[in-house]
Structure 1
Amino acid sequence: MSDLPAYRVWALPGIPEVRTGDDIAKLIASAATAEGLPGLADGDVLMVTSKILSKAEGRVVQADDREAAIDAETVRVVARRGPLRIVENPLGLIMAAAGVDASNTPAGTVLLLPEDPDASARRIRAGLRDTLGVNVGVVVTDTFGRPWRSGLTDVAIGAAGVRVLDDLRGGTDAHGNPLSATVVATADELAAAGDLVKGKAAGLPVAVVRGLSHVVVSDGDGGGDEVAGADGDDEGARALVRNAADDMFRLGTSEAVREAVTLRRTVREFTDEPVDGGAVRRAVAAAVTAPAPHHTTPWRFVLLESPESRGRLLDAMREAWIADLRGDGFTEENIARRVRRGDVLRKAPYLVVPCLVMDGSHTYPDARRNAAEREMFVVAAGAGVQNFLVALAGERLGSAWVSSTMFCRDVVRDVLGLPADWDPMGAVAVGRAAVSPPARVARDAAAFVTVR
């Protein structure tokens, strides 16, 4: 039985109320060496609640209004429901209220998270090595809620001397099946184990895990713990924060819509990466939820997925455009320059031609109401295309809505074999952006509002 995998975890009593300027490593060392306790040994891992680090590092701030403190610590709002906000804080952590805590601190003050929890963990580790001569791992913990799961748990927000991730990819399971996606969040598992004995209101901010020395990195040359990465593969808890490009669940509730609208930018340079037709069809499904008059469905989307179909259309449109420019009296040099500038559609690996159909429209005895009827349908078409562009952005696809097909509708219908009552409403270039678009120019919404 002694050979079975096992570990022991206990809370460390004797940590006093922490004040600004206190040396947490010395407080832990003093508590760990008290009579009757097992002390600390090489390979132990300490779970340290972030609150005591916040206090020691002077992250206690006056805040009669906690909301203002949350605002100051918020990089991005992910989701909001009533007064509750799930936000991204400067550490890249997605959590409630940016980690701003009004508990266990005097009235009128709040606790902010440590500015650099990995650095805090490194200082504690170095201090314990200097004081007690032990090589331990340190995990700084805080309490998180989790999407799709009820209840709270402690997770790692800082770490030193610990392999925070255990990458099992490339190995096999007990049945010989390859492991292609398994990366275990070891530091989070340690944080949760420590929380089982620390408790939320027991006044025990530090826990010790013994028996898992394989997760503790070597002490290296005995120095340099103040430098990130000084311990070889000691990468800190920042490695647990998924980068935005790989995060499939980055957005929340209504903020997802606002974020997608913000992400929608006109892209004029595309990579050669093929476009997933399924993603485009999902965007079409979003497009056709737009409002439309008389319960109609005035949208049609022609997907040009083959290079041949795109080439035929663009060649025909170019000839039509050149003929128009010649008719307008432009020189051949000017025509060539304009055509080159207008070649954004040729640079995209995928084209979509949205079309308007007037099925279900009403006919009136006077031209004024008939014109208004068509305008209603055109507005509905625009709403559908906007839905389409936003949904493409949600699929991480860039797009450019170009009006050119509207100037040669007969040519487009002829080349694509479309019915005579389908009106092309421009063309949408779709693909992966080759370069990041420039920062969006800020616009004051109040400049576009009139109140009566």
Structure 2
Amino acid sequence: MTGYRVWAPSGLPEVAPGDDLAKLIAAAEPGLADGDVLLVTSKIVSKAEGRIVRAADREAAIDAETVRVVARRGPLRIVENRQGLVMAAAGVDASNTAEGTVLLLPEDPDAAARAIRAGLREALGVTVGVIVTDTFGRPWRAGLTDVAIGAAGVRVLDDLRGGTDAHGNPLSATVVATADELASAGDLIKGKASGLPVAVVRGLPHVVTDAAEQGEGARAMVRSARDDMFRLGTSEAVREALTLRRTVRAFTDEPVDPGSVRRAVAAAVTAPAPHHTTPWRFVLLESAESRLRLLDAMRDAWIADLRRDGKSEESIAKRVRRGDVLRNAPYLAVPCLVMDGSHAYGDARRDAAEREMFVVATGAGVQNFLVALAGERLGSAWVSSTMFCRDVVREVLDLPAHWDPMGAVAIGHPAQEPPARPAREAGAFIEVR
């Protein structure tokens, strides 16, 4: 029979700034043994570090502890704090502290765990693991639980990938958050209002490292930005998606998943359109042959236009090179405008306005398409060239006569991250009446 015990020692005094937590814990639980795991509520670490501010300064404290706002709903902010943790209010908390004050999280929870571990070894001669815990909400789950925000001497993650389960099935994605499981087990004993800020787990010595090895620390459990599929809240993600849409002119050789482009088309055709019409068509050039045939024909038409304009051969060659962004892209799409369902008024002014209305709707669809491609982590560049040789494009691609090509979109995996976009002040583009 296997198992473990969890208990919470009583007798710890109220912690004050400057207190030595290892000495206080050693006095309250002198029976600690090698292989035990000590779970320490972050509140007492914060108090010992003097991380106490006036409650009136709470919003300023949250601002100071925030690195990035993840989501905001009314006064509630979910943020990434200076410790790399994503949590409500940066971990600034008014519970278990004197009235009129709030607590900040420990300055460096991993360092605090290492200090407690070293202090207990000095005081009691034991090798234990130490986890600093704090209370978190979790995406997709109601309720709160304790998780590890600092650790020393604990194998915080148990990577089972490469092994097999009891039925011999390969494990390809299983990494167990051991430190979080221990933290939540201790929370069942400590509670939130019991005045028991420390718990001990005994019977799991395999999760504790030897005296000379501190382990990775709880920072290893924080998902990197690249691996975080839910980095932003809903409204924040919508705004961020618009800024992620950048013109990309250099691509890698990595193939483009046609399914990603089709999902982008599905987003494109949700754009507003006049008269309940669907004025968008997207021609997807998925073969190198079709792309080359189109681009060669467009190049020849462009050269003919430039020669009629009297441009020199040197100037023509320079201008034609601008089309290399399309030629070097691994995937092309040609958005087209169709006027099916448009109204014919019989006078030039209103007929011109009707067409402009459809053109604007097509532009909205193209913007949706580009933004959705960015959401698929694909780069794109919208190039207007097909609009200058529509007959050529229709002939080469065998398109109906009433389809009007509205440029071409080069698509691929970006060869490098685009440079930061300078901020634009919205007021420069606004007139209020």
TM-score range, shorter chain: over 0.9
State how far apart, in whole Å, the 1-side matches of 2:431 and 2:391 are. Answer: 40
Counterparts of 1:401-416 in structure 2, within 5 Å, are 401-416=382-397
TM-score by length of structure 1 reads 0.92
Give runs of aligned pairs for residues 331-370 of structure 1, distance below 5 A: 331-370=312-351
1:60 matched to which residue of 2? 52
- Offset at residue 96 of structure 1 (A): 1.5
Quickly say closer, same or farther: Cα 1:445–1:16, change in 2 above 3 A.
farther
TM-score (norm 2): 0.96
Is the 8 Å Cα contact of residues 131 and 148 (structure 2) preserved in structure 1?
yes
Letter in 2 for 1:382: G
Question: 1:19 aligns to what?
Answer: 16
Deviations 1:213-263 (A, max 9, x none): 10111122xxxxxxxxx64xx111111111122222223221221121122
Please identify, of 14-23 and 370-379, the stretch whose mean Cα deviation from structure 2 is larger: 14-23
**CA 1:370–1:125 in structure 2 vs 1: closer, same or farther (change >3 Å)?**
same
Distance 2:353 2:176 in 1: 61
Q: Is the 8 A contact 1:63 1:69 kept in 2?
A: no
Residue aligning to 2:232: 251
Deviations 1:47-98 (CA, angstroms, capped at 9, x unpaired) = 1111122222232223515333323333333233333222222333221222
Q: Does 1:109 align with 2:101?
A: yes
Residue 28 in 1 paired to residue 21 in 2?
no
Does structure 2 conserve the Cα–Cα contact (< 8 Å) formed by 1:402 and 1:427? yes
Most deviating of 60-69 and 277-286 = 60-69
Task: Tell me the C-alpha RMSD between the 2 structures.
Answer: 1.7
The worse-fitting range, judged by mean Cα deviation, of 110-119 and 434-443 is 110-119
Give the direction of change, closer, same or farther, for the CA distance of 1:414–1:143 in structure 2 (3 Å limit).
same
Equivalence for 1:92: 84
Number of the residue aligned with 1:224:
none
Query: Match of 1:171, as an amino acid?
Result: G
Q: Does 1:131 align with 2:123?
A: yes
Per-residue deviation, residues 110-130 of structure 1 (Å, max 9, x unmatched):
222223211221111122122
Q: 2:377 aligns with which of 387, 396, 404?
A: 396
Partner of 2:275: 294
Report the identity percentage.
83
Q: Distance in 2 between matches of 1:108 and 1:323?
A: 78
Q: Residues 378 and 5 from structure 1, CA distance in 2 versus in 1: closer, same or farther, beyond 3 angstroms?
A: same
Distance, in Å, in 1 between the alignment partners of 2:207 and 2:147 is 16
Q: Which moved more, 1:172-181 or 1:343-352?
A: 343-352
Amino acid at match of 2:4: Y
Matched, 1:205 2:186: no
Matching of residue 303 in structure 1 with residue 284 in structure 2:
yes
- Give distance in 1, aligned partners of 2:388 and 2:210: 69
Residues 194 and 85 of structure 1: CA distance in aligned 2, closer, same or farther (over 3 Å): same
Gaps of 5+ in 2: none
Give the partner amino acid of 1:131: A
Unpaired runs of 5+ in structure 1?
Answer: 34-38, 221-229
- Which letter maps to 2:428? A
Partner of 2:308: 327
Contact map agreement 2:55 2:94 (CA 8 A) in 1 = no
Number of residues of Structure 1 aligned to a counterpart in Structure 2: 433
Counterpart pick for 1:371 among 348, 352, 361? 352
Q: Which amino acid aligns with 1:68?
A: A
Residue 339 to residue 106, structure 1, CA distance change in 2 (3 Å): farther
Distance 1:370 1:73, change over 3 A: farther
Tell me how far 1:202 sits from its aligned partner. 0.9
